[in-house]
Structure formats: structure tokens, C-alpha cells
Amino acid sequence: MTVRIGFIGSGFARRVQLPGLALVPGARATAIVSGRRSNAEAVAREFGLPHVFDDGVELARSPEVDLVIVSSTPDSHARYAIAALEAGKHVLCEKPMAVDAYEASQMLAASGRHPDRFAWVDHELRYEPNRRRARELIRSGAIGAVRHIELSLKPYLRGDGRPQAADAPWNWWFDGARGGGILGAVGSHLIDLCRYWTGSDVAYVAGLVETFVTERTDADGVKRPVTADDFTSSVLRMASGAVATITLSTVASHGPGHLGQVTGSEGTLVLTGETKLELAKAGGPLEDVSAPDDLWEKAKPNNMWARSFVRLLRDMVNVIGGGVAEGEPASFRDGWQVQRVLDAIRGGRGVRLD
């Protein structure tokens, strides 16, 4: 069968998702909608999509669509994902799943009312080869019991590989009400990784967010206040007993980029950048155990986010077609659990999560 895909949102869809579709057998893009119809029409022409809609709910109800990919701004995710599920469509929702846990719980409830539809969150790092191998090594006992996890990203790199500039123009990414900020954009992924690696939920979280650049100029030259975070740091205690620390910054102009370390009772895993994984037994040297990436230089852009998205979408199309998932995709329940942690960090105080 061919899975017909409709895209809600034309930004990330144009840069990553539609180019990646060329590497996903059994999938075909059939429809798109954007906040500006002109943007949707331009993308439709570029990629040969036959249908352009004026509203995401209209697209969700279209008989020309089997799977709806929601990659609009986070403040619209709940509306469109619920509409798609109610229309009998499968849903892949971008992260953060919603603007708060209440909206995420509504989305989770909608997925529960339609158990025959697949509802996943695009936590594609679960499909990144080294992060997936890290999970396999942890499960096999290679480093013993996980004691603590350290994850950081400094500086934040944009989709084209450049650091986020302090003078980047204002857009929705800097609007907290629309779901902008580094915590939702990347922190959601790293919180999910902690859950994915340990196989347990977050039991306690304490953290903070900060906005250092408080004003930016938009594309029309108008100065706009920044209401979303550009820095966050948090400490998580997992139900397993492991402790995790996460630090993210879009204002750091220098740093190691993606860095992760998982310390166990018998060894350590170190993730450097997008392509390197090392393992060391207690007292021994680090050894390169990096996983091969068969999509290297095939996905566009050539980064771990795009390559991992292709793998996730391949898995989802396979499952919709009646196959068995090869990976461990994030469900709407996973997304809701992550959203609870995001809300607690924004609250700026320690919170126990039952």
C-alpha cells in the first residue's frame, strides 16, 4: 500500500520532512497547509503536491490523506492532531507535543478514543544510530546500573549548521505563547532520551529557564519582545534512581555542540557531536563503538535530525502498512510525560511527578 501524507506547516516540512520522503518507500506527499497559503502553494509546486488547503482541520478531514504530519507551531498541535485522529487519520506530531501538559493530555485522550490509529511524537533521536546503540548497550548491562546522565548542547546549531546568532531576527521561535524556546525545541528531545535510555519516567525535576536576549527585530524591522527561553538547566531524578542533568544554550557562541555522558556502576558511555559513541569500562580507556550510518550524505540536510527523521518515518509507514515497528517510537503518552517535565522546569521549582 501507499501511505498518503498531508503536512500541516511548511517550514520544517520543506527543509527536512519533504526531502526525506524521497528515502521512504511506500509514502507519497499529497497535501499541505501553512499559516500563509502562498507558502503552502510554493512548497506544493516545489515538491509536486496536488492539494493545498486553507486550514489544518480541512486537510485532516481530506479523503486524500492517510497520515497527518503536524509540524506547525506548538500552540496549534493539539487542535490539528485531535482533528486528524477524530477524522480517522494516523498522526505524527512534532515536538514539543503541545504548549502545556493539559493540551497534551487532551491529545492523549483523543488517541485513546482511536486505538486503531497510530499517534506518534517525532522524537527522532530514538532512531539516531549512536543513541539507539547507547540504549542497546545500557540494556545489555555493558555499563552496569545507570547512575547519572549528563546532556548538553552549547552552542545551539540551526538546521543549516550555524550557531544561533544573538541577533537572529524575531519569529515565532522567540514567542513563548506559541511554544518557542530552546527547552521545548531541544530539551523535549533530551528528556525523552533520558526516559528512553533508562526505561523509566521522571520522578522529580528541578530547573529553570532564562531569557538573556530580551528583544529582537522581526523581518519588517519592528522590535519585538522575546518571551521564550534561550537558556535552560535542569536536574531530573528518574524512577529508576538515575539522576540526569540537562543544560541548553542558544546564546553560547562556543562549545562542544552535542555532548552526552552516561555513567554506570561498571562503565561509561560518551556521545560526542552527532557521530561518535565511546565506551569505557571502569578504570579503562574509552573505545570507539560508533554505529554506522547508512543514510550519511543521503538525507538533506545531512544532519542527525534529518537522517533520524527518515528512519522514524520509514518505521511508521511500515507499521501503518501492517508491519512491526523496528524501533521504539515515542507515543502520545510519552509526549505527555515529557510535557509534564517541561511544565515543571518552566515553573522554576522542584516538582515530584507521580
Q: Would you write out the chain's pLDDT as a tens digit for each of its 354 residues?
A: 899 999 999 999 999 999 999 999 999 999 999 999 999 999 999 999 999 999 999 999 999 999 999 999 999 999 999 999 999 999 999 999 999 999 999 999 999 999 999 999 999 999 999 999 999 999 999 999 999 999 999 887 665 555 566 678 899 999 999 999 999 999 999 999 999 999 999 999 999 999 999 999 998 999 999 999 999 999 999 999 999 999 999 998 888 889 999 999 999 999 999 899 999 998 899 999 999 999 999 998 999 999 999 999 999 999 999 999 999 999 999 999 999 999 999 999 899 998
Q: Does residue 214 sit within a domain?
A: yes
- The x, y and z cell numbers of residue 3, run together, are 501511505
Pairwise CA distance, residues 79 & 74, whole Å = 10
Same domain, 80 and 140: no
Same domain, 144 and 219: yes
Same domain, 53 and 195: no
Domain limit, last residue, from 121, 154, 184: 121
Cβ–Cβ < 8 Å for 279, 137? yes
Q: Does residue 89 sit within a domain?
A: yes
Q: Which range of residues forms the domain containing residue 52?
A: 3-121
Q: Considering the entire predicted model, what is its pTM?
A: 0.96
Same domain, 159 and 71: no
Give the phi and the psi of residue 31 in degrees, each rounded to 5: -155, 155
Residue corresponding to grid cell 554505529: 291
Cα dist from 93 to 12, 23, 72, whole Å: 12, 20, 9
Half-sphere exposure of 62 (CA within 13 A, CB side): 26
Same domain, 137 and 102: no
Same domain, 87 and 156: no
Cβ–Cβ < 8 Å for 197, 138? yes
Cα dist from 326 to 140, 313, 333, whole Å: 18, 11, 19
Same domain, 102 and 53: yes
Strand 27-33 relative to strand 51-53, pairing: parallel
Own/partner contacts of 239-243, CB < 8 Å, gap of 24 or more, are 239/200, 239/201, 239/202, 239/203, 240/146, 240/198, 240/199, 240/200, 241/145, 242/146, 242/147, 242/148, 242/149, 242/194, 242/198, 242/200, 243/147, 243/148, 243/149
Same domain, 117 and 138: no
Same domain, 168 and 274: yes
pLDDT score recorded for residue 240: 97
Q: What is the CATH number of the domain that holds 89?
A: 3.40.50.720
pLDDT score recorded for residue 168: 82
Same domain, 247 and 287: yes
Strand 351-352 relative to strand 202-210, pairing: antiparallel
Q: Does residue 53 sit within a domain?
A: yes
Q: Does residue 211 sit within a domain?
A: yes
Q: Does residue 259 sit within a domain?
A: yes
Same domain, 222 and 89: no
Q: Structural domain tally of the chain?
A: 2
Residue corresponding to grid cell 502520545: 332
The conformation of residue 316, written as its DSSP 8-state character, comes to H
Cα dist from 67 to 34, 41, 59, 100, whole Å: 17, 20, 10, 24
Domain limit, last residue, from 121, 155, 182: 121
Q: Does residue 308 sit within a domain?
A: no
Helix/strand number for the chain, H first, E second: 11, 18
Pairwise CA distance, residues 298 & 151, whole Å = 27
Domain limit, last residue, from 121, 139, 170: 121
Same domain, 219 and 279: yes
Q: Does residue 172 sit within a domain?
A: yes
Q: What is the CATH number of the domain that holds 233?
A: 3.30.360.10
